[in-house]
Amino acid sequence: MLTAQARVTNAQLIEALKEARARTVELVSDLSEEQLIGPRLPIVNPLLWEIGHLAWFQEFWVLRHLGSQEPILKHGDELYDSARVAHDTRWDLPLLERDETLAYMAQVLERVIDQASCQSHTLRDADGFDEDYFLNLVLLHEQMHDEAITYTRQTLSYPAPTIGIAGKQAEKVGLANEGQLPETNPPVTQTDLSDDAEIPRGKFTLGSPSQQGFVFDNEQLAHEVEIGAFAISKTAVTNGEFKQFVEDGGYRRSELWTAEGWKWRTSVAAEHPVYWRVEGSGRWLRRNFDEWVRLDERLPIIHVSWYEADAYCRWSGRRLPAEAEWELAASAELTAGGRGITTDKRRYPWGDDSPTPERANLDWRAMGCLPVDALSAGDSAFGCRQMIGNVWEWTASDFKPYPGFIPGPYKEYSEPWFGDHKVLRGGCWVTRSRVIHNTYRNFYTPDRRDVWAGFRTCAL
């Protein structure tokens, strides 16, 4: 049953903030001044701006909004407030230099730690949100940006990040499930996963209950929905399966694409996934950061847009799951007779225990995706594998507010993006364990193929 999370103490949050900051610095420490700025693209930020924004966001919400402190930087809002600074101007700003940015990041974190450590009573803002809320907000915000920094390195063909120091720090402070680095050859099950998981119809509570602990505003309010019976694939679509679509002319057959999807495909001249190329021998390669590697057909397809996922479904006579179907398949349990679903709801596919390396590929553990049939210990009650970790999964659903939606203090997080984004679920190999759970909703526009996104399918 989905239960409230054990309250995390300020001391634990402080250690997690330190670990996240170590990871952020580690992700950019090997990059040159030129790489920290990078090309002007609509899908990435200049990394020098992005790490400064992380510190500003932490300062704004914890020190200024909650603690009523004066700004550290006189013009910080004009440089780093993402709600005020237009994306395409971020390359032109008089940003702090690398060393100045790192010093600002360190100063902010030190003050946040001092404030969180020294309060004799819990601080609250005018709307009643307490210090625990804002410490969680800035922590998860940084962890999500660390994922964005990683896919920016992929987009720009930078070398794969070297993750080590932060992982050791995580283990030292008892956060091993967030920073632990991997066993190289995870066990692969021999179970047949080719059949769909058959999900019976029933009533299901979609979203996160208020007693769960910190959740983002778009996961609430939890509400009951009626979902018809459906069949969903037990694994994500693989490179090998998607290759068949490519080689069958899927990118040249307009009847497989929506009008918007075909317009997108022709505008970018897509003939295959963005990081694929074919050699003269017919062998497919995939770019992994700055290296070309042989396409591993056992791994999930990744870096495909919603349009590509939808076209593949039409080609294969399948469909994308609605986000409510996805969440039910990940969270629900069968009744004793196996003909219905119970009112119990799991926080993760396997239950309520936190992610471990045996259950989910998260936290850079494998420095990439694992085969889709690995990690059987993470199966849902219906036998669906890797619904948490490995690869984000597109759903058919538009990103919309749930009934009774109330924006949180950070009003720009969800509300501006309702309507023209699609929902993704489940996290990927870069996602932090603290961020992800069955009810977490990610969202991107349907043309985005730079993020770590794949999909699973449902029977028609």
Pairing relationship of beta strands 223-227 and 458-459 according to DSSP bridges: unpaired
Could you tell me what percent of the chain has a pLDDT over 70? 92
Statement: residue 450 has pLDDT above 70: yes
Taking residues 380-391, what's their average pLDDT?
97
3-state helix, strand, coil in the chain (%, to 5): 35, 15, 50
Q: Are residues 182 and 430 in contact, defined by beta-carbon separation less than 8 angstroms?
A: no
Give pTM, 2 decimals.
Answer: 0.93
All CATH 3.90.1580.10 domain ranges in the chain, comma separated? 182-238+298-460
CATH 1.20.120.450 domain span(s) along the chain = 10-166
**What's the CATH number for 182-238+298-460?**
3.90.1580.10
List of E strands, 268-407: 276-278, 284-288, 291-294, 318-319, 392-398
More confident residue, 119 or 312: 312
Superfamily of the domain at 10-166: dinb family like domain (1.20.120.450)
Instruction: Quickly state the pLDDT bin for 79 (edges 50, 70, 90).
Output: very high
Query: How large is the average pLDDT for residues 382-388?
Result: 97
pLDDT tens readout for residues 168-191: 444 333 333 333 333 444 555 557
Q: Cα–Cα distance between 42 and 152 in angstroms, integer?
A: 11
Instruction: Compute the distance between CA of residue 196 and CA of residue 199 in angstroms, rounded to an integer.
Output: 9
Above 90 in pLDDT, residue 343?
Answer: no
Of residues 186 and 431, the one with the higher pLDDT is: 431
Residue 31 zone, left/alpha/beta (φ > 0; ψ -120 to 50; rest): beta
Give me the percent of the chain exceeding a pLDDT of 90: 86
Q: Name the residue among 318, 316, 323, 328 with its Cα closest to residue 229.
A: 328
Q: Is the pLDDT confidence value at 1 over 50?
A: no
Can you give the pLDDT at residue 191? 72
- The answer on pLDDT for 137 being more than 50 is yes
Q: Which band of pLDDT confidence, cut at 50, 70 and 90, is reported for residue 46? A: very high
Residue 164: the pLDDT is 63
The mean pLDDT value for 216-239 works out to 97
